[in-house]
């Protein structure tokens, strides 16, 4: 076991500052661009928001009694203002620790 540790450390130190060592470029991760679906108003039928889309809330959303809004894990819901999600019916969030449902602001700058 000591031999492997010594080799690992030697390789690690050998690459730092070595002019002959290959240069490894670190690129930022490519963010997946999802289609944007703008939503507002009262849902009339059971509705599914899919993870393949990004939902931008542009007005209050009401889920009336007898209607359910189901949101898949991995779905992003961004509010484009101070709007409400009013639930009189059902709301089912299918998020997990690995694939959460994310609610956030659609604004890039904080409110001043």
How does the average pLDDT of the chain come out, rounded? 81
pTM (2 d.p.): 0.69
CA 15 from centroid of its chain's CA atoms? 35
What confidence score (pLDDT) does residue 1 get? Answer: 41
Element (H, E) at 93: strand 90-94
**What confidence score (pLDDT) does residue 95 get?**
94
Q: Quote the pLDDT of residue 23.
A: 56
Kindly report, residue by residue over 1-40, the tens digit of the pLDDT.
444 333 333 333 344 455 555 555 666 655 668 999 999 9
Alpha carbons within 13 A on the beta-carbon side of 10: 6
The structural domains of the chain, with segments of one domain joined by +, span 34-106
**What pLDDT is attached to residue 69?**
98
pLDDT tens, 55-75?
999 999 999 999 999 999 999
């Amino acid at each position: 076991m000591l031999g492997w540790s010594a080799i690992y450390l030697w390789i690690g130190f050998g690459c730092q500052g070595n002019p002959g060592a290959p240069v490894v470029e670190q690129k930022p991760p490519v963010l997946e661009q999802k289609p944007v679906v703008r939503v507002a108003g009262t849902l009339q039928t059971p509705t599914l928001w899919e993870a393949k889309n990004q939902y931008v809330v542009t007005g209050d959303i009401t889920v009336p009694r007898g209607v359910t809004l189901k949101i898949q894990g991995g779905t992003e819901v961004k509010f484009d203002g101070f709007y409400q999600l009013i639930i009189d019916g059902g709301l089912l969030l299918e998020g997990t620790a690995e694939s959460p449902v994310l609610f956030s602001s659609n604004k890039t700058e904080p409110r001043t």
